[in-house]
């Protein structure tokens, strides 16, 4: 876990990729060094009964990187979902916020489920172990769905792999948790203990709330992305014929995700017309260190065609 954080901070990008490698690495260590008959490493796993032992609270973090080493399903399922939804979210909000959401939702989800289990006093679960990044991933899904509900992502919906709005993927994820909780027999949905489902749903709720928390709320807003803006002022930066063709293509683009990618790519290559320095794209503005600014107005709604 420390290595994942250190490498991400050093590179200042790619938290999802580095965390994914970390998840696989820790699961490999579990497989090689777990005690006989165990499917995890008890020394760094979170146990519900640890809540009143402050010296054990660090395991709330380490347990996020542990998975069931007795089979590949747990780690593969988590990583698959994490990459599909975490990667596009990181491209929008950056590595810092993505990492914060991952740890905050995962840890708080575990704490919430722990408190409920202790309140029930069920001896079956009080001393059980809770491991895995599922809670963190549900938190990321919720954050993504609330912040950018119309953004499309690849997701397995009813065993069919398709591109859908992230809000649809989030609803499908919650629906699966509901089916599990109701103990509905389904060959495509494995059974999970209710504490795990509770942690997932709690982390999901925390991810939704995080979109409104100062410091965790992404600076980028859907209304300030390329598709919703009048990008005609970009023509000011088009000097060469190739630039002019590229700018016209960006202005005419009607797919939101493609428009944003094209604008970001052009902004990285463009130069400030005043100082010839690099430009930075922040929401609706292109700015230069010399103070030059190009601001885009929101696109006016088109009149309906009769």
Q: Can you give the CATH number for the domain in which 78 is found?
A: 1.20.1540.10
Looking at the fold, whether 110 and 70 belong to one and the same domain comes out as: yes
**pLDDT grade for 303, boundaries at 50, 70 and 90:** very low
Q: Does 226 lie in the same domain as 206?
A: no
Mean pLDDT across the stretch 263-281?
91
DSSP 238: -
Domain identity same for 266 and 199: no
Neighbour tally for 17: CB within 10 Å: 17
From 177, 210, 243, give the residue that closes a domain. Answer: 210
Q: Does residue 112 share a domain with residue 10?
A: yes
In a domain, 184, yes or no: yes
Query: In total, how many domains does the chain have?
Result: 2
The beta-strand segments (E) located in the chain are: 46-47, 129-130, 152-157, 160-165, 279-282, 285-288, 293-295
Within 13 Å and on the Cβ side, how many CA atoms surround 216? 22
* Least trusted range by pLDDT, from 5-9, 65-69, 145-149, 302-306: 302-306
Say how many C-beta atoms besides its own lie within 10 A of residue 209's C-beta. Answer: 15
112: number of Cβ within 10 Å? 18
User: Quick check: 34 pLDDT over 70?
Assistant: yes
- Confidence label for 67 from pLDDT (cuts 50, 70 and 90): very high
101 & 193 share domain: yes
Tell me which residue range forms the domain holding 239. Answer: 222-295
Q: Mean pLDDT, the chain, as a whole number?
A: 87
What element of type H or E holds 163? strand 160-165
215 lies in some domain: no
CA-wise closest residue to 133 among 48, 22, 228: 22
| Together in a domain, 9 and 120 | yes
Alpha-carbon gap, residue 178 to 198, rounded angstroms: 10
Average pLDDT rounded to a whole number, residues 58-74: 93
The answer to whether residues 144 and 172 belong to one domain is yes
CA angle 85, 90, 92 (to 5 degrees): 105
Q: What local confidence, expressed as pLDDT, does residue 112 receive?
A: 94
Q: In sequence order, which ranges of 129-255 are alpha helices (DSSP H)?
A: 134-147, 166-181, 194-210, 241-252
pTM for this prediction: 0.74
Do the domain assignments include residue 304? Answer: no
The answer to whether residue 263 is domain-embedded is yes
DSSP class of residue 214 equals T
Task: Report the C-alpha gap between 100 and 180 in whole angstroms.
Answer: 28
Please indicate, yes or no, whether residues 172 and 198 belong to a single structural domain of this protein: yes
Q: Are residues 129 and 274 in the same domain?
A: no
Residue 195 pLDDT > 90? no
**Residue 56: predicted pLDDT:** 96
69 and 42, same structural domain? yes
Give residue 266's pLDDT. 92
Confidence grade of residue 37 (pLDDT, cut at 50, 70, 90) = confident
Question: Same domain, yes or no, for 23 and 98?
Answer: yes
Nearest Cα residue to 58 out of 46, 40, 42 = 46
């Amino acid at each position: 876990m420390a290595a994942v954080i250190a490498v991400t901070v050093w590179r200042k990008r790619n938290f999802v990729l580095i965390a994914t490698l970390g998840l696989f690495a820790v699961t490999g260590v579990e497989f090689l060094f777990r005690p006989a008959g165990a499917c995890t490493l008890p020394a760094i796993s979170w146990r519900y009964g640890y809540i009143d032992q402050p010296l054990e609270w660090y395991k709330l973090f380490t347990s996020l990187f542990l998975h069931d080493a007795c089979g590949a399903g747990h780690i593969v399922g988590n990583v698959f979902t994490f990459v599909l939804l975490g990667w596009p979210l990181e491209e929008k909000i950056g590595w810092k916020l993505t990492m914060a959401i991952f740890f905050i939702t995962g840890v708080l989800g575990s704490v919430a489920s722990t408190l409920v289990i202790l309140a029930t006093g069920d001896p079956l679960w009080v001393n059980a172990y809770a491991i895995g990044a599922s809670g963190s991933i549900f938190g990321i899904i919720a954050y993504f769905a609330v912040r950018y509900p119309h953004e499309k992502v690849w997701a397995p919906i009813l065993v069919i792999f398709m591109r859908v709005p992230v809000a649809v993927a989030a609803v499908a994820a919650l629906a699966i948790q509901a089916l599990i909780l109701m103990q509905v027999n389904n060959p495509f949905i494995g059974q999970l203990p209710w504490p795990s489902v509770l942690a997932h749903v709690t982390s999901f709720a925390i991810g939704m709330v995080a979109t409104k928390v100062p410091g965790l709320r992404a600076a980028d807003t859907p209304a300030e992305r390329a598709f919703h803006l009048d990008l005609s002022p970009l023509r000011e930066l088009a000097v060469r014929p190739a630039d002019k063709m590229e700018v016209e293509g960006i202005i005419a683009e009607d797919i939101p995700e493609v428009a944003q990618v094209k604008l970001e790519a052009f902004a990285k290559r463009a130069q400030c017309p005043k100082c010839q320095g690099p430009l930075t794209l922040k929401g609706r503005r292109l700015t230069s260190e010399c103070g030059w600014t190009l601001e885009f107005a929101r696109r006016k709604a088109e009149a309906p065609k009769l």
